[in-house]
Amino acid sequence: MVTNIIKIINVQKSKKEIQKAAEIIKRGGLVAFPRETIYGLGANALDPRAIRKIFKAKGRPLDNPLIIHIADYESIFKMAKREFSYAQITETLVKKFWPGPLTLILFKKKKIIPDEVTANLNIVALRMPKNKIALELIKMAEVPIAAPSANLAGRPSPTTAQHVFEDLRGKIDLILDGGSTEIGVESTILDLTIKPPLILRPGGISLEELKKVLPDVKIDPNLLGGKFKEKAKSPGMKYRHYAPKAPLILVNSSNLKERLKKIEELIDFYQKEKKEVGLMISQETKNFLKRDNISLVVGSRKNLKEISHNLFAILRKFDRMKVDIILAETFSEKGIGCAIMHRLKRAAGIK
């Protein structure tokens, strides 16, 4: 299969190209497209054959369900029953955060959704992305679009069309290239089927923002350094994820001097073992580091949004540089920092 890439500069002027992508979705094909978070690999959420193609192209375990992307509010209760216990809160959250990087897990999935999408679970994950290309594509396809991240299972998520091409070339029909994605990490997954509602995966909408409308919301205790249960509520969370090819080691310290000392000690240690060390560090650290190792700047410590935007792209860059080990600086867990640190810990193999 030849994987085409079409550049979309302006949704208004590119209707024909997006229509072409919508036709592919309608006839059961696979299209990768940008969202505000990362690139996703989309298929018709109502077509079990198309859904199976997604799992095959990514090498995704079949027990890891897919988020369904919609472009209008009416679609929510076409796919999930309007449960009295959460209908009100769903409406409040949707009004405040959609379109945007918040995925809601609702009970109970309606029959229209094939079991392949939800990996046989009776709950459904829905979101409305804040990206014009994505919204136009969903509208033109006239079906909800199920879409996981458009990477090979386990690899860092793609934030550019080129990243998607690296992983899925020859396995999917089309990539819509809308440039690099803004947020750079995935949506926040919020489980509304239990009380209090739980964040199963931190992402583009922070705990602090959610607390303003949902004061009792909590982060899934499984995410806070504890072990993952065999039967995790969000099954994807139990798999190794976001990993660059070289092992990644976290360097914890918010104090610059201490951080520089730790980094230098680790460099010395690994260089004695004849290892090529790569560094993923902030601009602030880079300014004072007196070593000439390969170092990629992920952003400023004062701008966590810049760091989330660059995170996955930098992990992928290291793969092309053939380093033996990556030392990665850690960041504050406030706001989007929670999602950044979650991805970094997973990339380091810490659950």
Choose the binding region for Mg ion from 144-152, 296-304, 330-338, 339-347 (rule: CB under 5 A).
Answer: 144-152
Q: Taking CB within 5 to 8 Å according to partner kind, which of ligand TXA, Mg ion, none is near residue 154?
A: none
- Asked if 19 and 7 count as a contact pair (C-beta separation under 8 A), the reply is no
- How deeply is 189 buried, as exposed, middle or buried, from its count of CB atoms within 10 A (0-12, 13-18, 19+)? buried
Q: Is residue 144 a contact residue for ligand TXA (CB under 6 A)? A: no
Say how far apart CA 152 and CA 164 lie, in whole Å.
Answer: 9
Choose the binding region for ligand TXA from 119-127, 207-215, 271-279, 307-315 (rule: CB under 6 A).
Answer: 119-127
Q: Is residue 149 a contact residue for Mg ion (CB under 5 A)? A: yes
- Asked if 67 and 138 count as a contact pair (C-beta separation under 8 A), the reply is no
- How deeply is 26 buried, as exposed, middle or buried, from its count of CB atoms within 10 A (0-12, 13-18, 19+)? middle
Tell me which residues in 189-228 interact with ligand TXA (CB under 6 A).
189, 201
Least Å distance, CB 189 to ligand TXA, is 5
Say how far apart CA 329 and CA 253 lie, in whole Å.
Answer: 8
Q: Which of 93, 141, 198, 237 binds ligand TXA (CB under 6 A)?
A: 237
Q: 326-337 burial, b if ≥16 CB within 10 A, otherwise e?
A: bbbbbbebebbb
Q: Is residue 90 a contact residue for Mg ion (CB under 5 A)? A: no
Choose the binding region for ligand TXA from 12-20, 65-73, 221-229, 329-337 (rule: CB under 6 A).
Answer: 65-73
Sheet holding 145-146, edge to edge: 4-7, 174-177, 31-34, 39-44, 145-146, 68-69, 123-127, 102-107, 188-191, 198-201, 218-219
Q: Taking CB within 5 to 8 Å according to partner kind, which of Mg ion, ligand TXA, none is near residue 309?
A: none
Tell me which residues in 27-46 interact with ligand TXA (CB under 6 A).
35, 37-38, 40
Least Å distance, CB 351 to Mg ion, is 16
Residue 286: other Cβ atoms inside 10 A: 14
Q: Which residue is nearest to ligand TXA (CB)?
A: 236
Q: Is residue 149 a contact residue for ligand TXA (CB under 6 A)? A: yes
The DSSP bridge pattern shows strands 31-34 and 39-44 to be antiparallel
Q: Is residue 123 a contact residue for ligand TXA (CB under 6 A)? A: yes
Q: Which residue is nearest to Mg ion (CB)?
A: 149
Say how far apart CA 176 and CA 24 lie, in whole Å.
Answer: 12
Tell me which residues in 87-106 interact with ligand TXA (CB under 6 A).
101, 103, 105
Least Å distance, CB 311 to ligand TXA, is 13
Least Å distance, CB 158 to ligand TXA, is 9
Which sign, positive or negative, has the C-alpha torsion 270, 276, 281, 285?
positive
Least Å distance, CB 26 to ligand TXA, is 20
Q: Is residue 159 a contact residue for Mg ion (CB under 5 A)? A: no
Q: Which of 131, 159, 187, 222 binds ligand TXA (CB under 6 A)?
A: 187
Long-range pairs of 318-321 with CB within 8 A, sequence gap ≥ 24: 318/244, 318/245, 318/246, 318/278, 318/280, 319/244, 319/245, 319/246, 321/278, 321/294
Choose the binding region for ligand TXA from 76-84, 87-95, 232-240, 291-299 (rule: CB under 6 A).
Answer: 232-240
Least Å distance, CB 154 to Mg ion, is 9
Least Å distance, CB 242 to Mg ion, is 8
- Asked if 338 and 290 count as a contact pair (C-beta separation under 8 A), the reply is no
Residue 273: other Cβ atoms inside 10 A: 9
- In the complex, the residues that contact Mg ion under the rule CB under 5 A are 149
Residues that bind ligand TXA (CB under 6 A): 35, 37-38, 40, 64-67, 101, 103, 105, 118, 121, 123-125, 129, 147-149, 186-187, 189, 201, 234-237
